[in-house]
Homo-oligomer: A and B are copies of this chain.
Amino acid sequence: MDYSPKTSTLTHLECPECRREFDADVLQSICHRCNSPLLARYDLDAVSQYLTPGDVHTRPPGLWRWSEILPLRQLGCKVTLGEGDTPIFSLPRLGKYVGISNLFVKDESRNPTGTFKARGLSVAVSRALELGVNTFVIPTAGNAGAALAAYAARAGCRAHVFMPRQSDRSNQAEVRLAGANLVLVEGSISEAAIEARSAAAAHSDSDKQDINSNWFDMSTFKEPYRLEGKKTMGLEIAECFGWQLPDVIVYPTGGGTGLVGMWKAFGELFAMGWINERFPRMVAVQTEACPPIVRAFQENRDRVNIHQDAQTIANGLRVPEPFADRLILDTIYASQGYALAVSDEQIKQASKQLAQLEGILAAFEGAATLAALMLLRDQGRVKDKDKVLLMNTGSGLKTIL
């Protein structure tokens, strides 16, 4: 098939469990048979024929540079606040302190609403609008709710945001300021999800199957396109490092969309012939209070056991039962990566070190990656000469007060 430049080459959606294909041009949620997320697939052969790294590089900045491998058919429909193309830079002083000569950070705090959640919501809101949605519902640990509220406002849509009462107050204030409907919930994102589903069901049109046509569910991995937005982090990493990926990427893992998304991006770039087979080891960091992925990894399982909910200062890591557990664990195993937990005390200490040695005001989730790196270095799992990239997923401004 022939595509004109900047046109999406989206072909279909696929269940990674049963490999069944789904029509990408109607609203979809998950593979109900496998209870699995769906993955967007593209005509990568075609893309590799006519698109070059130079083409993408010279387009106006932002994640929509990658439109051939994003799902939006009509690029004019994009809902953008200028997300993506966050900087990657070296951390020489911190590297010396930790004992890593080539240490880098990707600073996702520089997205709209101050977190990497903007990427997923920009793409998912855009694509849902293209498919006819105008009301959204989301359960969230906090940041994704603030991002959805912003993009829904930008698009002139309604958003219903279900958030734990103990989430960061900044996120609650952002949702309210953007005019979205904020529902505070006792418990974690798991309880928020139950309440969100129940409210959505009460508002859905019973004539239509699967989809809450009135309140469209934007939960992590419950629709296919937040993942596509998050994968652009991986595309930018590959480009920024001159198409030679780093040795290790350390990522704070709650719902895991970023981890799975980066891995998906690397696979697509490899299929397009833009990178070689040297993929990074993907390290998932969680907190001691809520480590379901770490537990599963330690026991070599491919599913999590639901974890007893507990408090942590890193609210984005308070995800007791990530829906995409299989994809997250697959990524860690396939990359010969690792999973480990850090304490709130270690996170606070790392947050200070980032600020005092490098001037970076990191989210607690981002600081957790530094805390984890120090453990990995002590354990010899990461070596001095490894090129290591920390993912700072958000701004410390969200929690500094």
- Using CB atoms and an 8 Å cutoff, list the residues of chain A in contact with chain B: 57-58, 61-62, 80-82, 85-89, 93, 107, 110-114, 149-154, 156, 169-170, 173-174, 177-179, 351-352, 355-361, 395-398, 400-401
Contacting residues, chain B, for A179 (C-beta < 8 A): 352, 355-356
The docked-state distance in angstroms from the alpha carbon of A263 to that of B401 is 36
Contacting residues, chain B, for A62 (C-beta < 8 A): 87
Contacting residues, chain B, for A111 (C-beta < 8 A): 110
Whether the pair A174, B400 counts as a contact (CB closer than 8 A) is yes
Q: A355-B177, A356-B178, A359-B112 are in contact. Are A82 and B107 (CB under 8 A)?
A: yes
Closest Cβ of chain B to A177, distance in Å, is: 4
User: What's the number of copies of this chain in the assembled complex?
Assistant: 2
Q: A81-B87, A89-B82, A361-B177 are in contact. Are A355 and B153 (CB under 8 A)?
A: yes
Q: A359-B151, A397-B170, A397-B398 are in contact. Are A61 and B82 (CB under 8 A)?
A: no
Closest Cβ of chain B to A275, distance in Å, is: 19
The docked-state distance in angstroms from the alpha carbon of A107 to that of B62 is 13
Q: A107-B82, A110-B110, A396-B177 are in contact. Are A154 and B58 (CB under 8 A)?
A: no
Contacting residues, chain B, for A395 (C-beta < 8 A): 114, 395, 397
Interface class of chain A by DSSP: helix
Cross-chain pairs A/B with CB under 8 angstroms, 24 sampled: A61-B85, A80-B89, A81-B89, A82-B87, A85-B85, A107-B112, A112-B359, A114-B114, A150-B355, A150-B361, A152-B359, A153-B355, A153-B356, A153-B357, A153-B359, A170-B397, A174-B355, A174-B397, A177-B352, A177-B361, A177-B396, A178-B355, A395-B395, A397-B397
The docked-state distance in angstroms from the alpha carbon of A116 to that of B89 is 19
Whether the pair B114, A397 counts as a contact (CB closer than 8 A) is yes
- Residue in chain B with minimal CB distance to A62: B87
The docked-state distance in angstroms from the alpha carbon of A153 to that of B352 is 11
Closest Cβ of chain B to A399, distance in Å, is: 10
- Residue in chain B with minimal CB distance to A352: B177
Whether the pair A81, B400 counts as a contact (CB closer than 8 A) is no
Whether the pair B58, A58 counts as a contact (CB closer than 8 A) is yes
Contacting residues, chain B, for A359 (C-beta < 8 A): 81, 112, 149-154, 178
Closest Cβ of chain B to A239, distance in Å, is: 10
Q: A177-B351, A178-B359 are in contact. Are A170 and B80 (CB under 8 A)?
A: no
The docked-state distance in angstroms from the alpha carbon of A139 to that of B113 is 29
Whether the pair A61, B87 counts as a contact (CB closer than 8 A) is yes
Whether the pair B173, A401 counts as a contact (CB closer than 8 A) is yes
The docked-state distance in angstroms from the alpha carbon of A58 to that of B55 is 11
The docked-state distance in angstroms from the alpha carbon of A174 to that of B111 is 19
The docked-state distance in angstroms from the alpha carbon of A401 to that of B173 is 7
- Residue in chain B with minimal CB distance to A107: B82
